[in-house]
Amino acid sequence: MPNVTVEPRKVARLLFIALAANAAGHSFVLVVLPGLARRLGFSDLQAGVLIGLSALVMTLAAPVWGTIGDRSGRRRLFLAGLLSGCVFLGVAAVLVSWRFREGISAQTTFVLLFTARLLQSCFAGGLSPATQAIVADITVADRRAGGMGLMGAAFGIGSVLGGMVAWWLAADNPVIALTLLAVVIAASTLFSAISLPETHSDTSIHPLNKIDLAKGSARFLAVTLLALSTYAALQQVTVLRLQDGFGLSPDVAMRTGGAVMMTSMAAMVTGLLVLVRHLAWSARRFCRVGATGATVCLIVAALTTSLPILFITMAGFGVCLGLLMPGNLAQISLRAGAAQASAAGLNAVAQGFGMALGPIAGAALHRFSPQAPYAAAAVALACCVLAVWHAPEPFAN
């Protein structure tokens, strides 16, 4: 049952603004860091370590913070995650500016930036568990998928905004871009600190242990892993397929591949904001329709040799993923009882491994055929169909 002492709509608005701001900063770093690292004097391997190891730390920290969130409440966990993003961007702006003025060596810059990134990842690992738990606290069972969809939409919109900032400022003014994003996240953190209430009203309830929780949600954690592996793999190989399968030049393939994935992301956000928020479906129905539709879209995408059809199928895939993921999160939440943050922490682990596994698998499969990653993605989504179609209806809480 939702916490009746808070205003759900007010809390939802706060979450949306704060998560979009944080996602913009996260997206900007991922887009800009490989190129910026070279300008700072880092090797490509150092840039990869900076991104990859910090993602691993965030993934491993999530279940720990989830347990803390169930015992001590969500608010401080949420604020700490936001604040860590703000501090990291501010530190990065200072270090990049200092390095550009040659006031610090490349190696020292890397060590300091790497340390700041790892510390930020430790605290940021609590943001997703806290957010999912807050959404569970303020929503009733039949609106849980809509609440989870709002969280996904905030991330999608923030990611697009971060990419726009990267396109607009990163080449000529990376320090200004980092500072701007740090200020935006700082403002959202301050606003949340003033206005966001604690939604976890009873910390005396003993939540399920991690083993029982994982067993009860195993099929849905597998869906998270497979769905995000699929999306991450397609992000990795779409440009390569356009070159090797459609015969486009490298420059045209890069622009077209970016347009394909942006179309898919925009369609996903549309599904999250419009369909999930307004369709009065159960979590199970969202999962069934989303997984089945995504599978059909990827089968067509794997077989097509037409660029317009690839655009259409990837847009359809985005919409269907926008139905599947919040429905799946709602399924996990509705089975978690009092362990909402702990369940979200386990789901964050599945998300992290999915995002890591996808690009590796996609690149490996592309060596066999440009269509192979798409065919494998369709098989993975078909497994999701089997998992969600036979899932029992969750109990309400």
Percentage of residues in the chain having pLDDT higher than 90: 37
**Of the candidate ranges 192-196, 200-204, 285-289, the one whose mean pLDDT is the lowest:** 200-204
Q: Which residues contact 28 (CB under 8 A, 6 or more apart)?
A: 162, 163, 165, 166, 170, 177, 178, 181
User: Quick one: average pLDDT of 162-188?
Assistant: 87
Amino acid, single-letter form, for residue 359: P
Pair 176, 169: CB distance under 8 Å: yes
Q: Which residues contact 70 (CB under 8 A, 6 or more apart)?
A: 133, 200, 203, 207, 338, 339, 340, 341, 342
Q: What are the distances in angstroms from CA 328 to CA 149, 324, 337?
A: 10, 6, 16
Residue count (the chain): 397
Its CATH architecture, for the domain 8-195, is: Up-down Bundle (1.20)
Q: Which long-range contacts (CB under 8 A, 24 or more apart) does 390-394 make?
A: 391/219, 391/220, 391/284, 391/287, 391/331, 393/282, 393/284, 394/141, 394/283, 394/284, 394/330, 394/331, 394/334, 394/335
Segment 358-396, tens digit of pLDDT = 888 888 888 889 899 999 999 999 999 999 988 776 654
First-to-last C-alpha distance (Å) of the chain: 5
- Identity of the highest mean pLDDT range in 190-194, 197-201, 262-266, 387-391: 190-194
The token duo for 219 is 């099929």
Please determine whether the domains at 8-195 and 210-389 fall in the same fold group of CATH: yes
Segment 309-338, tens digit of pLDDT = 999 999 999 999 999 999 998 888 888 877
Q: What are the distances in angstroms from CA 71 to CA 17, 201, 203, 292, 352?
A: 26, 11, 5, 37, 24
Q: What angle do CA 228, 55, 154 make, to 5 degrees?
A: 55
CA 122 from chain centre, in angstroms, equals 16
pLDDT at residue 362, as a whole number: 85
Would you list the domain boundaries of the chain? Answer: 8-195, 210-389
Torsion-angle region of residue 296: left (phi > 0), alpha (psi -120 to 50) or beta?
Answer: alpha
* Residue carrying structure tokens 């059909």: 296
d(CA 333, CA 144): 8
Pair 100, 175: CB distance under 8 Å: yes
Amino acid, single-letter form, for residue 40: L
Fold for 210-389, please state it: Growth Hormone; Chain: A; (1.20.1250)
Amino acid, single-letter form, for residue 165: V
Instruction: From 284, 265, 286, select the one nearest 275 (Cα to Cα).
Output: 286
Angle of helix 75-100 relative to helix 44-72, nearest 10 degrees, comes to: 160
Q: Does residue 261 have a pLDDT over 90?
A: no
Segment 211-255, tens digit of pLDDT = 667 677 889 999 999 999 898 888 778 878 888 888 888 777 777
Pair 282, 392: CB distance under 8 Å: no
Eight-class DSSP state of 204 = T
